[in-house]
Chains A and B, each alone.
Chain A
């Protein structure tokens, strides 16, 4: 039965970026602004444990909370789709953050300058995982227009992390912020690639001795690659 299976022509590759930050900082508004579809909301139940919660103490605390996350989509070209995921606002849904962040290219952390401390957790989270991120100062009416350097100091951010002003309510501005995020990701990846190139002669020397290979390290990043390989395998068999 071959009805409705003409998907051979359009088999897009999907990528993902994350919009994060504290509660009520404009993540959903931002997702709406950049998405070509009305943002969708998917829910996860903590009791379902489907998001990979292994922490029993966590489950004990709350048994049936619904975690909602909003996401949007941008079709970049026929073969490439970018998903834009907002993280759930409350910190206690950290387990969802892992799920959303695994395999992400990078993150935008939205900040309300009236409540700077709200974004600390998000910054820690992405810093620890080595996910490239930028800070977006979301314009709220009546919010103080702090100097960017003061904010950098207050957030204890490395000089390499861009801080940009944005307005999540404005599609053009939001898209522009997304472009700034992608530029930063590109810069970060290029620097990393250059570093690896510089280290390559050494690596080649090491590779000459067969037993000297470094132990394989499994990271979240590898998950999607492994998945694709699995999928390809299945396609063949």
Chain B
């Protein structure tokens, strides 16, 4: 009787699911990825058997960021990040370049590109 509240928490799918998908992990051994880091399938790699990993793989046939993967595959950001990092660690996905926040040349290019829209 006293543990009714606990049961409610455990039965809340949104509470347990993120851990379940990542087998309890909140970060991947492969490393941390920025939310805007884009990833794409590596040449010669094959589609993973796992359902969620396969969804990520299919999406990344064109480059997508971690945030986009999270949104489009409807998985919390933390889950997407761990699974993508796993696929990166396994060589299935490649991480594309992100800019340094002090890259003047990139800022110029952004400025020109957006100004000329």
Are A and B bound to each other?
A: yes
A151 contacts the other chain (CB 8 A): no
Query: How far in angstroms is the closest Cβ of chain B from A51?
Result: 6
Structural contact, A2 and B44, CB atoms closer than 8 A: yes
Q: Which of A12, A14, A42 interacts with B77 by CB under 8 Å?
A: A42
Q: Which of A48-77 contact B (CB under 8 A)?
A: 48-52, 63-64, 66, 71, 73-74, 76-77
Q: Which of A12, A47, A49, A83 interacts with B63 by CB under 8 Å?
A: A12
Structural contact, B34 and A227, CB atoms closer than 8 A: yes
Q: How large is the interface on B (under 10, 10 to 19, 20 to 34, 35 or more residues)?
A: 35 or more
> Could you list which residues of chain B lie within 8 angstroms of chain A, going by C-beta atoms?
9, 12, 14-15, 18-19, 22, 26-27, 31-38, 40-46, 61-63, 65, 67-68, 70-72, 76-82, 88, 91, 94-104, 106-111, 113-115, 117
Distance, CA A190 to CA B104, complexed state (A): 7
Interface of A is mostly: mixed
For A197, what are the chain B residues with a Cβ–Cβ distance below 8 Å? none
> Could you list which residues of chain A lie within 8 angstroms of chain B, going by C-beta atoms?
1-2, 4-5, 7-8, 10-16, 40-45, 47-52, 63-64, 66, 71, 73-74, 76-77, 80-83, 85, 99-100, 102-106, 131, 175, 178-179, 182-183, 185-186, 189-190, 192-193, 221, 223-225, 227-228, 230-231, 234-235
